[in-house]
């Protein structure tokens, strides 16, 4: 639990809206993922060493389902898996994404980027649904769309951090619209103005995923629906603010506390009337 608490503020599903009895399981999932993420991003280690560490982590995951592992993360994770019948394949999917983080730093096509999000973001949504006993395939589809939208939004708001760290999440097929390559982006050659065609494509794709993901709300129990409505509207607000940046390569969107306060009413209204059409628009 301590490992999860160190990064608690960055884990969107671990909020007070989650029922108390589910919080240890959420913390266990997060601790598992956070540790693997740290392995993937261990800057002083070689790629081979980082991949070996992730392999060892996966071996412990495989064992913890049926046997007791003397490790705090896997003791808690085993209890969560067996108590809530969590889909273990989703935890394995997360490790696929962490391996990709070690060796892949740009994406040729939208499909390649979606494959990454399928493993880096979507498993979290599926695990949260399982914790709440939601197993409907339609709900899982909408959850995948929402989680991918949130992952992409995070990429677009963090361009000024990811690119200097050697990661370009703008697909090459989008960059081609501006006659730019990912290598040029990583070397800091194009300006935000030159990237506008690629960014417009990225924003449009992300917005459509939010629109699809919003359809999950009527399928959820109220308390989880309130949490997801907050996550949905928060993500949409960040994406909207990102689209309005004049220089996203050097600036991040900033939403004031007043903005979040005003958003609270919208979140509650959405949770109470989940079938009502949302205001899905983008500048």
Quote the CA–CA distance of 159 and 203 in Å, as a whole number. Answer: 13
Q: 219 vs 11, 118, 266, CA distance in Å?
A: 23, 21, 19
Average pLDDT along the chain: 91
Tokens of 37: 């993420």
Q: Does 3 have pLDDT greater than 70?
A: no
Q: Are 121 and 148 in contact (CB under 8 A)?
A: yes
What percent of the chain is modeled with pLDDT above 90?
Answer: 83
Q: Is 17 helix (H, G, I), strand (E, B) or coil?
A: coil
Q: Are 198 and 181 in contact (CB under 8 A)?
A: no
pLDDT for res 281: 56
pLDDT for res 247: 96
- The contacts found for 93-97 with CB under 8 angstroms, 24 or more apart, are 93/118, 93/119, 93/122, 93/123, 94/32, 94/33, 94/36, 94/119, 94/120, 94/123, 94/124, 95/36, 95/54, 95/57, 95/58, 95/61
Interior angle at CA 69, CA 66 and CA 72, nearest 5: 125
Quote the CA–CA distance of 10 and 82 in Å, as a whole number. Answer: 26
pLDDT bin (cut points 50, 70, 90) of residue 42 is confident
pLDDT for res 64: 96
Give the mean model confidence (pLDDT) for residues 244-266.
89
- Give 181's contacts (C-beta < 8 A, 6+ positions apart): 172, 175
pLDDT for res 11: 39
pLDDT for res 214: 96
Quote the CA–CA distance of 253 and 248 in Å, as a whole number. Answer: 8
150-174 per-position pLDDT tens digit: 999 999 999 999 999 999 999 999 9
Quote the CA–CA distance of 53 and 40 in Å, as a whole number. Answer: 8
- Give 223's contacts (C-beta < 8 A, 6+ positions apart): 17, 18, 19
Give the mean model confidence (pLDDT) for residues 74-79.
97
Q: Is 10 helix (H, G, I), strand (E, B) or coil?
A: helix
pLDDT for res 9: 38
109-145 per-position pLDDT tens digit: 999 999 999 999 999 999 999 999 999 999 999 999 9
Q: 64 vs 77, 83, 193, 204, CA distance in Å?
A: 8, 13, 50, 41
pLDDT for res 12: 43
pLDDT for res 222: 94
Q: Are 129 and 144 in contact (CB under 8 A)?
A: no
Domains and CATH numbers, the chain: 1-103 (no CATH), 105-283 (1.10.600.10)
CB atoms within 10 A of CB 56: 11
pTM of the model: 0.92
pLDDT bin (cut points 50, 70, 90) of residue 280 is low
């Amino acid at each position: 639990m301590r490992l999860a608490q160190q990064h608690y503020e960055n884990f969107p599903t671990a909020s007070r809206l989650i029922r108390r009895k589910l919080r240890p399981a959420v913390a266990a999932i997060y601790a598992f993922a956070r540790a693997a993420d740290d392995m993937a991003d261990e800057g002083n280690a070689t790629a081979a060493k980082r991949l070996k560490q992730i392999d060892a982590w996966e071996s412990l995951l495989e064992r913890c389902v049926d046997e007791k592992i003397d490790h705090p993360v896997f003791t808690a994770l085993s209890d969560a898996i067996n108590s809530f019948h969590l889909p273990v394949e989703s935890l394995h999917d997360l490790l696929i994404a962490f391996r990709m983080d070690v060796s892949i730093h740009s994406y040729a096509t939208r499909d390649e980027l979606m494959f990454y999000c399928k493993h880096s973001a979507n498993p979290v949504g599926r695990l949260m649904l399982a914790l709440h006993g939601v197993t409907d395939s339609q709900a899982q589809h909408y959850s995948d769309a929402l989680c991918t939208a949130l992952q992409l939004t995070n990429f677009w708001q963090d361009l000024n951090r990811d690119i200097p760290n050697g990661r370009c999440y703008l697909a090459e097929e989008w960059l081609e619209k501006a006659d730019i390559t990912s290598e040029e982006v990583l070397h800091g050659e194009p300006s935000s103005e030159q990237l506008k065609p690629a960014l417009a494509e990225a924003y449009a794709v992300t917005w459509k995923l939010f629109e699809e993901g919003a359809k999950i709300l009527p399928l959820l129990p109220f308390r989880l629906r309130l949490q997801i409505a907050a996550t949905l509207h928060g993500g949409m607000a960040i994406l909207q603010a990102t689209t309005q940046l004049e220089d996203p390569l050097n600036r991040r969107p900033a939403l004031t506390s007043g903005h979040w306060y005003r958003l609270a009413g919208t979140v509650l209204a959405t949770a109470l009337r989940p079938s009502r059409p949302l205001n899905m628009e983008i500048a």
